[in-house]
Amino acid sequence: MDERGASGGIPRRTFLATGLAGAAAIVLASCSWNDPSPSPTPTATPTPTPPSPSAVPRPTNMRRSAWGTDPYSRGSFSFAEFGSTEQMRTRLATPVGGRLVFAGEATSSLAPGTLQGARRSGLRAAADIVELAEPGERIAVVGAGLAGLTAARELADQGFEVVVIEARDRIGGRVQSIVDDAFGTPAELGSWLVADDDGLVEALAAASVGTTAFLGSPAVVRADGTPIEPSPAGAEALERAHVWSQALPHDVSVATALQQSGEVPASETPGDDGVSPAGWLRHAITGGLEPLTGAAPTVVSAQRWDPAPLLEPFGADPAEPTTLRLPTAPISGLLDQLAEGLDIVLASAVAQIAYDNTRVSLRLDTGESLTVDRVVVTLPLGVLKTDQVRFQPALPRPYQLAISQLGMGVVDVVWLAFEEPFWRADVASDAETDDAGEVGAPPSVLSVVGGFPTVARWIDVGTATGAGQPVLVGVIAAAQATRLEQLSDQDFLTAVLADLEPFATDGG
**Domain architecture of the chain: domains with CATH:** 78-211+328-397 (3.50.50.60)
- What is the Cα–Cα distance from 440 to 460, expressed in whole angstroms? 16
- What is the Cα–Cα distance from 480 to 118, expressed in whole angstroms? 26
Q: How confident is the model at residue 16 (pLDDT cuts 50, 70, 90)?
A: very low
Stretch 377-382: mean pLDDT = 98
Neighbour count for residue 35 (Cβ, 10 Å)? 10
| Of the candidate ranges 206-210, 393-397, 416-420, 442-446, the one whose mean pLDDT is the lowest | 442-446
- CA distance from start to end of the chain: 58
Residues 474 and 227 sit within 8 Å (Cβ to Cβ): no
Residues 188 and 177 sit within 8 Å (Cβ to Cβ): yes
Helices (H), 261-396: 277-284, 290-293, 332-339, 381-384
Residue 44 has pLDDT above 80, yes or no: no
Output the average pLDDT for the chain: 86
Instruction: Give pLDDT, residue 163.
Output: 98
Instruction: Give pLDDT, residue 4.
Output: 54
- Higher per-residue pLDDT: 59 or 266: 59
Instruction: Give pLDDT, residue 172.
Output: 97
Stretch 426-438: mean pLDDT = 45
- Higher per-residue pLDDT: 192 or 64: 64
Nearest Cα residue to 96 out of 460, 491, 483, 375? 375
Percent of the chain exceeding pLDDT 90 equals: 72
Stretch 33-50: mean pLDDT = 39
How wide is the angle at C-alpha 425 spanned by C-alphas 422 and 428, nearest 5°?
A: 125
Instruction: Give pLDDT, residue 266.
Output: 67
Torsional sign, CA 312, 316, 321, 323: positive
What's the pLDDT tens digit per position in 458-483?
Answer: 999 999 988 899 999 999 999 999 99
Neighbour count for residue 51 (Cβ, 10 Å)? 6
Kindly give the pairing relationship between strand 161-165 and strand 343-345: parallel
- What is the Cα–Cα distance from 404 to 382, expressed in whole angstroms? 10
What's the pLDDT tens digit per position in 131-178?
Answer: 999 999 999 999 999 999 999 999 999 999 999 999 999 999 999 999
